[in-house]
Amino acid sequence: MHISLGHLHRTHAPVVLDVGPVMHIEDLRAWKVAALVARAEHRDLIDVAAFLATNTPDELLALARRVDPGMEADDITAVGRRVDEVPTARFAEYGLDAEAVTELRRRFAAWPAGWRRTT
């Protein structure tokens, strides 16, 4: 048996719901954005795109820097390239149709960019 333990720094107390205590939304956003920058899983792009409906990239990155102050600018700007490079069909595996993927890409349009594909 392999057990992996981790500690996620939290700046807010857990929120108690009917199901029990859950991570505060600001801490969740911070860790999801940090995960996106570090590992860039397709599911991370989807989750962060949802946050971009109500937060700017700068706001989300400020939250993420609280939990991962060592994030590199190159890794942050690479997120925009990854959004451009993921085929629409890969997002379909998570239930997104072409319209939802177009919206996801639109939300990332304001993400800090280095080189980005323009077509």
pLDDT number for residue 91? 95
With respect to residue 34, please indicate whether it lies within any of the assigned structural domains.
Answer: yes
With respect to residue 15, please indicate whether it lies within any of the assigned structural domains.
Answer: no
With respect to residue 31, please indicate whether it lies within any of the assigned structural domains.
Answer: yes
Number of domains in the chain: 1
Structure tokens at 44: 């991370």
pLDDT-derived band at 20 (thresholds 50, 70, 90) equals confident
pLDDT number for residue 8? 55
Q: Name the DSSP letter for residue 15.
A: E
Q: Looking at residues 82-100, what average pLDDT do you find?
A: 94
More confident position, 21 or 82: 82
- Between CA 47 and CA 71 the distance in angstroms is 19
Residue ranges of alpha helices (H) inside the chain are 25-39, 42-51, 57-67, 73-85, 88-92, 98-107
With respect to residue 118, please indicate whether it lies within any of the assigned structural domains.
Answer: no
Global pTM reads 0.80
Q: Looking at residues 51-79, what average pLDDT do you find?
A: 94
Residue-range definition of the domain harbouring residue 61:
22-110
